[in-house]
Amino acid sequence: MSYSTFMQSASIQPDSVSYSSYIIKRDITERLVAGLASNTRLTLLVAPAGSGKTLLAREILAQFSDKSCYIDAATFNCDTLEAKDIAHPSLADSTESLIVIDNADTLRGQPVWQQLKQIVKSSLSSHRFVLVSRYDLAEDFARQKAEGVVTEVGFKELAFSSQELSELVSVMQALKNYGANESAGFLDALLLKSHGWPAGVVIGLQAVMNGHSPKEFVDSFCGKDRDVVSYFRENVMGDIGEDCAELLLECSLGKQIDDRYIQHVMGRCDTTRIKELIATENAFVIECDRNRDSLSLHPLFREFLEYEFSFRDQARCQELKKKHQEISNQFTGNSSEVVYADFGGMVEKLTNRETQLVALISSGFTNREIGEKLFISEKTVKWHLHKIYAKMGVKNRTTAVAKARSCQMIS
């Protein structure tokens, strides 16, 4: 399912919202266009699949009209491609030209990548570039970044916020069939489960437009959802290396990818290489600790990977599950969560939504009341609280609230 397909069937009111302002954040577009019109010579759009990178790049491109060109690197044959094939001859004499190179990550590891980097670096005085990639390209342009001519945009900026999702209530015809509280609750719960991932949000909205009950959908929405599975299989797994794909499957059983899990559960010693490989692929890595000693995957992606792992190799999956449980019990006394090295009074930083849940329990709301307020089931509330306790290194809501107050997370 593409964004275009979704938008064509979404009954969006043209007067209230445009295609670009719905999928692409207008403030980011305006900021990037203004930057490219002044001091920025290179913009890096780096985020996982389904984040709206290409749509944002095309929106930027439209602002430069005929003095620009769009190049999709994924369409090139890297075996015969030369850097001169990417340089656009008609823009050679233009000082206002913009060149957008989409899917730039497909060129990495190819001989042409080094040549292309040199062309970009040597042309920054006369051309402006936008490189769209799933991989982090900052190290490739470290000197230019230090000179202040590079702007970077990542997943956190492209993800939907609560305010942006709430605005959809007024433009989504399908949601108008439900009450304001029900619609707002659905969007809030959808944001909580998708972490604002645009493709995940679209899948949820499409389900409601197709007649699914908002409450029933968000209660069951997870990485095993049919549309989520289809998306990850078609748009993610096929684009990452086979070695990394196998590692991701085996890493999916842990809350975090760290040395302890890699060594004791997976039975591997090359911990640094594994973490660097996964981080480089940018396969929905959404969090890491301060020293980058551990990584966390997007919850939907991790749930998908665990489902896929069981589907592909059930025996190996069950073997690692057993090992993971044994290691967890050794460190936590029969808890199903592994407690990781503490930093700053917290095991792992809470997300904004998790902080909201802590604030609600501190106000005395029961799980059932929290579920009604956030439009999720009581079972889902318990699941989220279980995650929060693990991140905070506590065992119950009383100590969670006390620790949150001591850390000044809540008043």
Q: Sorting pLDDT into bands at 50, 70 and 90, what band is 259?
A: confident
Q: Is 150 in the same domain as 172?
A: no
CB-side neighbour CA atoms (13 Å) of 280: 16
Q: φ and ψ at 2, to 5 degrees?
A: -95, 165
d(CA 170, CA 258): 43
Q: Is 369 in the same domain as 389?
A: yes
Instruction: Tell me, yes or no, whether 378 lies in a domain.
Output: yes
Q: Sorting pLDDT into bands at 50, 70 and 90, what band is 16?
A: very low
Please report, rounded to a whole number, the percentage of residues in the chain having pLDDT higher than 70: 77
Q: Of the segments 57-61, 221-225, 371-375, 397-401, which one has the largest average pLDDT value?
A: 221-225
Q: Sorting pLDDT into bands at 50, 70 and 90, what band is 343?
A: very low
Instruction: Tell me, yes or no, whether 3 lies in a domain.
Output: no
Mean pLDDT of the chain: 76
- pLDDT for res 359: 87
**Coil, strand or helix: which one is 240?**
coil
* 14 vs 34, higher pLDDT: 34
d(CA 336, CA 316): 19
Instruction: Tell me, yes or no, whether 343 lies in a domain.
Output: no
Could you say which of 298, 332, 366 is where a domain stops?
A: 332
pLDDT in tens, 54-98: 888 888 888 876 677 888 887 766 555 555 555 554 444 445 578
Q: Is 76 in the same domain as 185?
A: no
Q: Sorting pLDDT into bands at 50, 70 and 90, what band is 304?
A: very high
**Coil, strand or helix: which one is 136?**
coil
Q: Is 240 in the same domain as 102?
A: no
Instruction: Tell me, yes or no, whether 341 lies in a domain.
Output: no
Q: Is 143 in the same domain as 170?
A: no
pLDDT in tens, 196-248: 888 888 888 888 777 888 888 888 899 999 899 998 988 888 777 788 889 89
Which domain covers residue 251, as residue numbers? Answer: 233-332
Instruction: Tell me, yes or no, whether 339 lies in a domain.
Output: no
Q: Is 21 in the same domain as 141?
A: yes
> And the tokens for 35?
């930057």
Q: Is 54 in the same domain as 146?
A: yes
Q: φ and ψ at 173, to 5 degrees?
A: -60, -40
- pLDDT for res 6: 35
Q: Is 146 in the same domain as 201?
A: no
Tokens 């503490």 correspond to 342
Tokens 């001989």 correspond to 111
Q: Is 17 in the same domain as 149?
A: yes
CB-side neighbour CA atoms (13 Å) of 5: 6
Give the strand pairing for 127-133 and 150-153: unpaired
CATH number reported for the structural domain that contains residue 374 in this entry: 1.10.10.10
Give the strand pairing for 285-288 and 68-72: unpaired
pLDDT in tens, 102-147: 888 887 777 778 877 887 888 777 788 899 998 888 788 888 888 8
* 287 vs 410, higher pLDDT: 410
Could you say which of 133, 158, 183 is where a domain stops?
A: 158
Q: Flag whether pLDDT at 193 surpasses 50.
A: yes
- pLDDT for res 79: 58
Instruction: Tell me, yes or no, whether 246 lies in a domain.
Output: yes
Instruction: Tell me, yes or no, whether 168 lies in a domain.
Output: yes
CATH number reported for the structural domain that contains residue 68 in this entry: 3.40.50.300
The total domain count for the chain is: 4
Instruction: Tell me, yes or no, whether 119 lies in a domain.
Output: yes
Q: Among 8-12, 83-87, 300-304, where is mean pLDDT lowest?
A: 8-12
Q: Is 197 in the same domain as 273?
A: no
Q: Is 168 in the same domain as 150?
A: no
Q: Is 142 in the same domain as 174?
A: no
